């Protein structure tokens, strides 16, 4: 084989970039002919091998890196909101027992702690087929509505 050792050191087994630089060893790859859209639906029903290719070509919409990073950041914000509601609610426990019976207070505290996670999950599920800006609008609106006010105002009260 007439190859440059530097090229071999920078490639992995099955690397197409190395093969592309060696025109004498290139083997022609068979490219599947594209079918019209009307026959792809019948191909999906009749041929399982072709159906996977057709679905992969048409439905390959992946989320971008920036959008994935923003989802992670907003997911972290919602997680911190849940912790803030728990700490803030636990800090107000002694003051709230004068106004509410214990089962009502702990029930509402549980709902408040779960609300950010439920909002995040609901937005992700309900905007699955929507545009990215719709998803982020829903997440930002939730981040503004679900601020843990007992933690923000009292700093967690006696729990800290």
Question: Looking at residue 22, what is its pLDDT?
Answer: 61
Q: pLDDT band for position 55 (50/70/90)?
A: very low
pLDDT tens for each residue of 6-51? 666 666 666 665 556 665 655 555 555 555 555 445 444 555 454 4
pLDDT at 103 over 50: yes
Give the per-residue SS3 of the chain: CCCCHHHHHCCCCCCHHHHHCCHHHCCCCCCCCCCCHHHHHHHHHHCHHHHHHHHHHHCCCCCCHHHHHHHHHHHHHHHHHHHHHHHHHHHCHHHHCCCCCHHHHHHHHHHHHHHHHHHHHHHHHHCCCCCHHHHHHHHHHHHHHCCCHHHHHHCCHHHC
Residue 139 pLDDT greater than 90, yes or no: yes
């Amino acid at each position: 084989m007439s190859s440059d050792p530097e090229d071999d050191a920078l490639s992995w087994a099955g690397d197409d970039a190395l093969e592309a630089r060696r025109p004498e060893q290139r083997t022609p790859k068979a490219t599947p002919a594209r079918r019209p859209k009307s026959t792809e639906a019948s191909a999906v029903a009749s041929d399982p091998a072709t159906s996977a290719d057709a679905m992969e070509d048409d439905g390959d919409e992946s989320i971008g890196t920036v959008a994935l990073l923003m989802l992670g950041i907003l997911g972290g914000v919602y997680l911190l909101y849940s912790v803030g509601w728990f700490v803030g609610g636990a800090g107000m426990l002694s003051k709230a027992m004068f106004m509410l019976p214990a089962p009502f207070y702990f029930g509402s505290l549980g709902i408040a702690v779960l609300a950010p996670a439920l909002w995040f999950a609901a937005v992700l599920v309900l905007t699955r087929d929507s545009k990215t800006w719709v998803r982020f609008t829903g997440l930002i609106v939730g981040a503004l509505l679900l601020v843990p006010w007992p933690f923000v105002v009292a700093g967690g009260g006696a729990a800290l």
